[in-house]
Structure 1
């Protein structure tokens, strides 16, 4: 029933310009659409939407997304590290007990982005 659906996260952003810059420079996303209080960005088949939420306290933001990587997770990790992405303190690249190699970063709004590759 859901096989033809596409899931697109809608994430809070304190500052849309800062969020746009971060996702372009550190993660290689491109801008699809920009509205006064809304952004749509894309990288390959991954699409993210951001809504302005100036009152968001980043330390209480529990937004999270999981991005499945088909291959090359080590290269992606080193690329993001070199680009200055904010690595989560407990998010170093490692093999998890469930058979997935993962790492995690934080965006400027403290949204947790976990990247995982089945090995």
Structure 2
């Protein structure tokens, strides 16, 4: 009986991760432990594990987040001066999704998508 999936992404600096996800993306902290962080926004929960030696140039952490009203979310992030991935502006994809992407401070790729 599966009920949810919670991605676990690497982080080098907990304070930088907290700053980005809370101040840029609007998440709230729901758990903060030695080497581990738990954040939530609405029904989405993401966990982070400390990986101080992570090379962001070789990090392949990725999360796909389904959303409603993607255009409003995109505009709110632009208004908050959140940097959009250079190749990830809001576009309609051939697989029936409207998507955009962000890179967090550790280059974890966050892709937001809405069915069209």
TM-score range for the pair, normalised by the shorter chain length: over 0.9
Matched, 1:89 2:86: yes
Count of residues paired in the alignment: 116
TM-score normalized with structure 2 length: 0.95
The runs of 4+ residues in structure 1 deviating greater than 2 Å are none
Relative to structure 2, which stretch is displaced further, 46-55 or 76-85?
Answer: 76-85
Q: Secondary structure at the match of 1:81?
A: helix
Q: Residues 48-107 of structure 1, C-alpha deviation per residue, up to 9 Å, x if partnerless?
A: 1011111111111000000001x2111111111222222111101011111110000000
**What's the counterpart of residue 8 of structure 2?**
10
CA RMSD, Structure 1 to Structure 2 (Å): 1.0
TM-score normalized with structure 1 length: 0.93
Structure 2 segments unaligned to the other structure (5+ residues)? none
**What's the counterpart of residue 36 of structure 2?**
38
